[in-house]
């Protein structure tokens, strides 16, 4: 495999991984928000009890 071909494939792979990373960061952010809300509910219910 030529260096040029290998470089092209690695650039493509890098681009795909960047996209995947971006999607996972978004998902992580959403899960952190959900987790925060769940913890807040738990604390409120604990205080009420």
Q: Report residue 14 as tokens.
A: 């890098």
pLDDT along the chain (49 residues), means of 10: 97 99 99 98 89
Under DSSP, the state recorded for 49 is -
Indicate the DSSP class of residue 2: -
Ranges of beta strands (E only) in 1-49 are none
pTM for the full predicted model: 0.76
Question: Residue 14: its pLDDT value, please?
Answer: 99
């Amino acid at each position: 495999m030529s260096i040029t071909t290998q470089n092209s494939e690695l650039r493509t792979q890098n681009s795909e991984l960047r996209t995947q990373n971006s999607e996972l960061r978004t998902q992580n952010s959403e899960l952190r928000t959900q987790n925060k809300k769940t913890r807040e509910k738990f604390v409120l219910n604990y205080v009420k009890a």
